Structure 1
Amino acid sequence: MLDLNWPYKRHASVYAGTQKYVEEQGWESVIDEYVYDSISSARNKGEVPYDGIIARASKLLAERTRNLELPVVNVWSSSPVRDLLPSVFPDYEASGHMRAEHLLSRGLRKFACLGCRTDSSDVFEIAAFQNAVQEYGYACQTAWIPLAFSQTLKKWKDSAETIDAWMQRWSSPIGVFVGGDQLGRMVVQKCRERGLRVPEDVAIIAGRNEEVLCERPSPSITSVEMGFERVGYEAARLLGHLMDGGEPPRRPLLLQPEGLVVRESTDFFAVQDELVAAALEFIAKNSHSRIGQDDVARALAVETRTLQNRFRKVLGQPIAATVRKVRLERAKRELAQTDRSLKNIARDVGFGSPMRMYELFKRELGVTPIEFRRQRRI
């Protein structure tokens, strides 16, 4: 019961993940969007038609399965019964932190968030985003609109007014996190109406990588691939465990997001210092090569010591640390989104050898590249 009439990844991709596991196990899978009614009708006849259920679980489903020996796994983070049922979700706190780190790495120092307060995924992500930027000493302006903001003309107009008032408080350049893909497109439109350039004035990261909304029209929007197919796969695996008589987990199973999908809306370095901005642009274009601090300084025709001092003053870190960070982000995307070998990834992102990449992953992330990939893949 996954509300497949809604063509979102958090519905359709979760379903695709369940089917991958179903095929591996040889199960029979049935779509039943009113399974609580099927259970109730069958129970009166003395038999229940299913051995287990994966659902965006409603209160009614929880009530009607409570006294049945019928395992249910919930995959809806905003479910009113999320604390009562075994559940599998993306780790929205991790994705919120990931979004903040990406915008911080662009040199941004002013931030804003927009989300739907009744959508728990927005709530968790925005809280993590706020915490991440506050750790660096920066504030975040946050606005909330209704979940069904386009349900009626009045809600649409009220939400547009809320967004306008929120944007009125901005000062550029600013990094903006928007909870939904459609909402992200609305903010891009509002920026255009106000004469704000994306990404030069406003760098936007939005939604959960619904490609149709993220990729067109220009500017394309940077997003996070949440890994909803993995959610479906692990939900089916958990259901199998429960159907075999296993104990339910005490807490929801949280899965790391697959990674950032960087597009035009954040393809910018917001640094007032022109020399550092030029250096960051050079690093972004050449991080795949064997470059060091001397190479960056030479490209800008400046003394290495001068550039190093400017980096420490403006970014609070040396040139080498910046190069490593850019390479690390590229490697994370390659590991999460491709099947390429560690050797080829290490070479192409500029680490040179898999061992060098291994050492950096262990030191910065606490996991090996293989473990990182495994966490983000089925």
Structure 2
Amino acid sequence: MAERPRRIALMLDLNWPYKRHASVFAGTQKYVEEQGWESVIDEYAYDSLASVGPRKRLPYDGVIARATKVLHKRARELNLPVVNVWNSSPVRDSMPSVFPDYVASGRMRAEHLLSRGLRKFACLGCRSDTSDCFEIEAFQEAIQERGFQCKTAWIPLTFWQSLKKWRGTEQTIDAWMDGWKLPMGIFVGGDNLGRMVVQKCRERGWRVPEDAAIVAGRNEEVLCERPRPSITSIEMGFERVGYEAARLLGHLMDGGVPPRGPMLLQPEGLVVRESTDFFAVEDELVAAALEFIAKNSHSRIGQDDVARALTVETRTLQNRFRKVLAQPIAATIRNVRLERAKRELAQTDRSLKNIAHDVGFGSSMRMYELFKRELGITPIEFRRQRRL
């Protein structure tokens, strides 16, 4: 008689149409199909487990869930493996978990806005959303390391649930924006909140991105791409979260030892759109140089080429870069190439040789050396971290 395939429950709040729900589900299904398991959507898995008597077989071999206290308690009583994928879970520190690395994504957002020449910053998030808290703290630290400050505002997680909360949230956002000194670099936790901030900027007659460069949310395309301006965001890799959660569950069902802490997966990369397509530098010479670098970084250009294009002495331009951006021209060119290479590695299957050539490194060995020096990992390791 053939052995029954493993049967796992998925408790992922799929009624919410967000990537952190649906894409996690898609990732679990990829692994489930590879293993020949059976998966069951059961948003009340804890209740299904509650009816299990001492002699009755468990309905599931394991559970992947946005874990609640009651699920954790019941699964522990039954010695049933559970993997949590909800960063704000009240039991996140008490059970095996898989999350995107929100500290890494927070720093990524800051580095992107800093690369645009911005020197004044603001954050908006939901204090009861653990993901927002991790990202904003990392964003603030990255900004402060460069000697700048960040004006932060917090709103309720369920700000849309009542008219009173909605109006209160609008007042909080208005008061937060009243303190801005343009141009600003802004990080907003949610894609929907990002749209609200864009609308508020329009109401004030502020331009996006010239006055307010905004990076928001976790790349919900419907909210990010329309209406214009489209909003820069980060692809967090939630499908990988689901895949790795299923892999970890398999390890636990085999009797494996749970990891000591949550498994953190690097975000796939920044998706740059119109809301940050701008260099906020008051120095016209440096701004022109940044625009030239952005358009030509794929070519074999160096500091002399940039200066020649602007008909200025290299030493003069170098001094202006150090004064305005606190870094030399060569470092700026290198950072632009690294950012583009990271996007290509995360979002395409192109060869390292072709990517290195097209972003301006010249050779895959040169790209390898820079990734090891700047990031501490190889391009292949970077790609592997951001793919299934």
Q: TM-score normalised to the size of structure 1?
A: 0.99
- Residues 1:40 and 2:43 aligned together: no
Classify the secondary structure of the residue corresponding to 1:53. Answer: strand
After the TM superposition, which of the residue ranges 178-187 and 299-308 deviates more from structure 2? 299-308
Quick one: distance in 1 between partners of 2:23 and 2:150? 32
Provide the residue aligned with 1:204 in structure 2: 214
Report what 1:193 is aligned to: 203
Q: Secondary structure at the match of 1:30?
A: strand
- The within-5 A match list for 1:315-330 is 315-330=325-340
User: Is it true that 1:243 corresponds to 2:288 in the alignment?
Assistant: no
Aligned to 1:23: 33
Partner of 2:78: 68
* SS of structure 1 residue aligned to 2:354: helix
- Render the CA deviation track for 1:54-89: whole Å, top value 9, x for unaligned: 000011111111211210000000001111110000
> Aligned match of 1:99 in 106, 109, 117?
109
Q: Unaligned regions of 5+ residues in structure 2, if any?
A: 1-10
TM-score, normalised by the number of residues in structure 2: 0.96
Alignment of 1:133-282 (within 5 A): 133-282=143-292
Cα distance per residue 1:272-298 (max 9 Å; x no partner): 110000000000011011111111111
Amino acid at match of 2:182: S
Residue 11 in structure 1 maps to residue 11 in structure 2: no
Residue 292 of structure 1 aligns with an amino acid whose one-letter code is G
Question: Which deviates further from its counterpart, 143-152 or 307-316?
Answer: 307-316
Equivalent in the alignment of 1:308: 318
2:121 paired with 1:111: yes
- Equivalent residue of 2:38, what SS? coil
One-letter amino acid of the structure 1 residue matched with residue 280 of structure 2: A
RMSD: 0.8
Distance in 1 separating the partners of 2:290 and 2:33: 47
Q: Match of 1:67, SS?
A: helix
| Secondary structure at the counterpart of residue 54 of structure 1 | strand
Corresponding letter in the other structure for 1:147:
L
Residue in 2 that maps onto 1:289: 299
Displacement, 1:42? Answer: 3.0
Deviation at 1:45, TM superposition (A): 6.5
Q: State the AA in 2 paired with 1:193.
A: E
Do residues 125 (structure 1) and 129 (structure 2) align?
Answer: no
Partner of 2:377: 367
Find the aligned partners of 1:313 and 1:58 in 2 and give their Cα distance. Answer: 52
Aligned residues: 378
Instruction: Give 1:146 deviation, angstroms.
Output: 0.4
Q: Which runs of 4+ in 1 moved over 6 A?
A: none
Aligned to 1:86: 96
Amino acid at match of 2:72: A
CA distance in 1, matches of 2:260, 2:207: 47
C-alpha distance in structure 1 between counterparts of 2:241 and 2:133, whole Å: 19
Residue deviations 1:104-142 (CA, integer Å, cap 9, x gap): 111111000000000000000000000110111111000
Structure 1: gaps of 5 or more residues: none
Question: How far is the alpha carbon of 1:44 from its aligned partner?
Answer: 6.6
Could you tell me which residue of structure 1 aligns to residue 6 of structure 2? none
